[in-house]
Amino acid sequence: MLYVNTEVNDTPVKAFVDSGAQATIMSPDCAERCGIMRLMDTRYSGMARGVGTARILGRVHHAEIKIGGAVMPCAFTVMEGKDVDLLFGLDMLKRYKAKIDLEKNALCFAGLEVPFLPEAEIPKGFDEGDPTVPGPNNTEISATSGAVKPAGAKSSGEVAVGPSSSQPAQPAQAAARPPPSVDADGFPSEDIDQLVNLGFSRSDAVQALQATGGNVDFAASLLFARQ
């Protein structure tokens, strides 16, 4: 288990660094302590079912996190049923080009080396029986192990959670979904509409998607950071 000391909205948090988990996740208790529940977009709420069940309360598109003296914007999925306060996933590791250096026993990025916590300082009670969270292209990702199940490989007991509400489980023999419609600007119309529904103009939404390679979450974080 690799943990680092962080601060979210000036509140100390021990973050579990997991390069296998694609999503960065925060518990609702931690979000309350950090005072960022008011920033949560509840349109991302739903139920996550997999190895266990948990309720996804929503998503915080932009909040400040401090690691090793560096302050940076970060996005979180707020989910119940986890013993870990903050799981720092691959989305944020890639965004800031971080490197897990086991020789130095540190998380390295932007010229900084943030040491991993010794075993005595690691929070106890970490739950290995975590549910999955939705990943890109309809995949499902284990919130702890980071195991990725490709689209179409989900069992009948699992559901993918979208931006609006929980979706019913689909039979294994169900027909594949039709591909999303692509806007004239080269991005799926639903991605552009999702950003527009957050209160941004269509042109700003397209520019943000272009700047982030089409990643909706990163685009939302970029737009909120510009406000």
Q: What is the CATH number of the domain that holds 214?
A: 1.10.8
Q: Which domain holds residue 215?
A: 189-226
220 and 139 part of one domain:
no
Among 101, 126, 149, where does a domain finish? Answer: 149
118 and 212 part of one domain:
no
91 and 145 part of one domain:
yes
Q: Tell me what pLDDT residue 14 has.
A: 94
199 and 145 part of one domain:
no
- The number of CA neighbours under 13 Å toward the Cβ of 20 is 12
- Tell me the helices (H) and strands (E) count for the chain, helix number first: 5, 14
- The residues annotated with a catalytic role in the active site are 18
- Cα distance between residue 227 and residue 224, in whole Å: 5
For the stretch 10-64, pLDDT in tens is 899 999 998 887 788 999 999 999 999 999 998 888 776 654 567 889 999 989 8
Among 95, 125, 149, where does a domain finish? Answer: 149
Residue 91 lies in a domain: yes
Q: What is the CATH number of the domain that holds 126?
A: 2.40.70.10
Among 149, 180, 198, where does a domain finish? Answer: 149
Q: Comparing C-alpha atoms, which of 127, 180, 187, 130 is closest to residue 151?
A: 180
Q: Tell me what pLDDT residue 174 has.
A: 39
Average pLDDT along the chain:
75
At 142, list the tokens: 């284990």
Residues of the chain with pLDDT under 50: 51, 127-129, 144-146, 153-177
8 and 108 part of one domain:
yes
Residue 165 lies in a domain: no
Residue 89 lies in a domain: yes
* Number of domains, the chain: 2
23 and 128 part of one domain:
yes
